[in-house]
Amino acid sequence: MEDCLTIDVHQHLWGQRFVDALRRRHDPPYLRGWELHTATEPPHEVDPDAHDAQRRAALEQSSGTVLAATSLSSPLGVEQLTDGADLLAAYHADIADLPAPFRAWAAVSLVDPDLAELKQRLQAGCVGLQLPATALGTPDGWAACAAVLDVVADADRPLLVHPGPTLTPPNVPAWWAPVVGYVDQLSAAWWAWHFVGRRVAPHLRVCFVAGAGLAPVHHERFEARGGRFGVIDPDVFVDTSSYGPRALDALIRVLGIDALVLGSDRPYAEPTIPDLGAAALHALTTTNPTRLLKLDAPAPDSPRRAR
């Protein structure tokens, strides 16, 4: 990866204001020291080094990353809290101080979305908006978010669909939520988008993290049960987070290489760079994320920093 100019569309990085806001809370989500408590998953210890901005920036810069787009951790459920304003404000205050190569996805309350504030944040440099898949897992969910999506499309910014809170059953391992709950959410959001997306948001660019839970691979079953796949939408993308060569090869066979973008999900996973050849590598790490985010394409000899 050292010789590639890499754009990573999916990372997470908590700033000090956000951490402090979590520690002030008494109801989930909250932090006690570095132990995270949520309403849906067992408590777990957060690694403070994983949210050290300077350490993370040095890691990205040493890897040739020109832009790493960080986002709110939607499984916390902040977007759907009635008392989440302080957390959202802290998150946005922190992202204003991110070192290069970091930029950020905006977040918005889904209880009482401030559309004017969202528009301002998108104009001020956020790369787009992230929404939890839990809000978009039905056709009615996409329709309910239409006003928010209009603001994003009007700003010519993309939407990132990320897993939201998932209620885990008792006595399951730590991997249960990301492997079962998150995948189910993303799959539901993909199919709901497939059904109503372009009617609700005709001009929106959208990216589903984690290969949309591999929902596109099920298009054969979809057609076998009476659905119609239609044509590939050039403004719909999936990121590569947590999947390797076999899954990514399957996605490429359905969607084509142009739909895939690099998303690592750092610090929870590491980048997946399949051995698909130089052209595919360039598409995943540079060409496709540049189209998703509508950036000026980085020149081969450009400085390795966010612009």
Domain boundaries, the chain: 6-293
Among 2-11, 98-107, 128-137, 233-242, which is the least confidently predicted range? 2-11
218: CB partners within 8 A, 6+ apart: 187
- Token couple for 137: 């897992």
The pTM of this model reads 0.94
Q: How far is CA 3 from CA 6, 45, 168, 286, 304, in A?
A: 9, 35, 41, 12, 11
Supply the pLDDT for residue 227.
86
pLDDT tens digits for range 74-131? 999 999 999 999 999 999 999 999 999 999 999 999 999 999 999 999 999 999 999 9
Alpha helices in 124-271 (DSSP H): 139-144, 146-154, 176, 182-200, 219-224, 245-255
The C-alpha atoms of residue 142 and residue 136 are separated, in whole angstroms, by 5
pLDDT digits (tens, 9 = 90+) for 42-66: 999 999 999 999 999 999 999 899 9
What topology does CATH give the domain 6-293? TIM Barrel (3.20.20)
